[in-house]
Amino acid sequence: MIKIVILTDSFVGAKGGSEKHIKDLVSGLDAQKYSIDIVQLSNTADIPFPSGTHESNLSYHHFPVKKVYGLSGLKTLFAISKLIRTKEIQIVLSFHEMSDILNALLPVKVIKLSSRRDMGFKRNNTLEKMIRFINRNFLLVLCPSKAVQQKVLSEGIPEEKTFLLYNGIDSESFTQALEQPKEDKARLISELGLQQDKVKLITIGNLNPWKGQRFLVDAVAIMNRRGANCQLVLFGEGDTFDALEQQVKALELQDDVFLKGYCGNVKKYLPAFDIMALPSVTEGLSNALLESAASGLPLIATDVGGNPEVVHNGINGELVPAEDAEALAGALMNYLPSSPGYSQAARASRALVEKQFSLTTMLQTYTSLFERLAGQQNRD
């Protein structure tokens, strides 16, 4: 039995890509071979644990931390150390900065792994220096994209201490998007309040400044002035909801741009759309891009972070500069369903996910890594 602690700053049941990654990981590992303790550091009181993940090999712990450098951080450090000793934990895998700091400072003998989920865009100078200082304490730093790996290397970590491990999705569960009868697609379009004869764009992600949704709204205005006749649905919630709503009104796009809030089953609605757009200002590796690709959608995304590893110019979509509504509009116009390269791009998106970003491959890579590291520890 391999015993692992997963440390995460956020609630595992939250709606972000990292949380989904953790849930896919813990639910995909063999319950007969792995014992997993998930430690959530979120300061939110009385947070419920996610449904569907209460398998016999999982245990959950909530150690709220207000400040990692404060008393709550110190108490949590000792609580995690006690957990490791009591359960004879072999591996600690941390997600996000606060968890990384506590993992690195653990005063116990354990294999310490850090999973970096983004380009570090939230770090201030103090936090950046702290992360660079603690990096030496990790046996490996796991990176979901080559772009994140390059960021980690720039922090002074030797290449042999980095490990590229792509996000994976269950591509087979998206097969219905490719086999959707026309009448079913029409029903979904009506359910979303969209018009059958318009080009339908989708973007998925938390609503915040670094996701860049405002540039996509501007792009839709540009496209429709050029006669593209398109509609956009934004799935997600967050701090910029009100600002985006005001922007839509100011541009008189109320009939063409719809903020639908969080959707727990985006997979159901992806077949209703023609193109996926991701206007992020920064990105690690987007699960939304992978899910849209698995549904056979051409992809238009900004040339940041891990996006170029999913979007291949002229093959399954197009990359554009960040914060450039004009470029976004132009790229989207190139991949309208009536364009000559549309069908080929749709097929290429699906093929890419099946080859490089499958959930099976991700879980096999994790399993091989954990077994190798645990085996080395046992020999030592």
pLDDT in tens, 39-66: 999 876 555 555 444 567 888 888 889 8
Domain identity same for 121 and 217? no
Q: What digits encode the pLDDT tens for the residues 21-44?
A: 898 999 899 999 999 999 999 876
Rounded mean pLDDT of 153-177? Answer: 89
How many distinct structural domains can be found in the chain?
Answer: 2
Q: Are residue 343 and residue 366 in the same domain, yes or no?
A: no
pLDDT of residue 20: 84
- Going across the sheet that includes 162-164, the strands are 58-62, 34-40, 2-8, 91-95, 111-115, 140-143, 162-164
Cα separation, 153 vs 164, in Å, equals 12
Query: Is residue 333 domain-shared with residue 194, that is, in the same domain?
Result: yes
- 225 plus 287 within the same structural domain: yes
What CATH number should be reported for the domain holding residue 118? 3.40.50.2000
Say whether both 321 and 185 belong to one domain: yes
Are 309 and 363 within one domain? no
If asked whether residues 69 and 155 sit together in one domain, one would say yes
Lowest mean pLDDT: which of 13-22, 119-128, 160-169, 273-282?
13-22
What does the buried/exposed string (b/e) look like for 79-107 if buried means 16 or more CB atoms within 10 Å of the residue's CB?
ebbebbeeeebbbbbbbbbbbbbbbbbbe
And the tokens for 44?
A: 């939110």
Q: Are residues 119 and 258 in the same domain?
A: no
pLDDT value for 51: 44
The pLDDT of residue 52: 43
The average pLDDT across 326-354 equals 95
305 plus 367 within the same structural domain: no
How is 97-151 classified by DSSP, letter by letter?
A: HHHHHHHHH--S--EEEEE--S--TT--HHHHHHHHHHGGG-SEEEESSHHHHHH
Cβ atoms of residues 294 and 350 within 8 Å? yes
- Say yes or no: 322 and 365 in one domain: no
Residue 225's domain spans which residues? 171-356
- Crossing angle of helices 125-134 and 97-105, in 10° steps, is 40
3-state secondary structure of 158: coil
| 61 and 47 assigned to the same domain | yes
Structure tokens at 76: 């949590």
Q: What's the mean per-residue pLDDT of the chain?
A: 91
Cα–Cα distance, 93 to 368 (Å, whole number): 15
Closest CA to 235 of 23, 18, 16, 48: 16
Structure tokens at 120: 């570090």
* Shared domain check, 291 and 183: yes
User: Could you give the 3-state DSSP secondary structure of residue 255?
Assistant: coil
Instruction: Express as a percent the part of the chain with pLDDT over 70.
Output: 94
CA distance linking residue 377 with residue 324, whole number of Å: 50
C-alpha–C-alpha distance, residues 150 and 127, integer Å: 19
The side-by-side arrangement of strands in the sheet containing 275-278 is: 257-261, 230-235, 199-204, 275-278, 299-302, 317-320
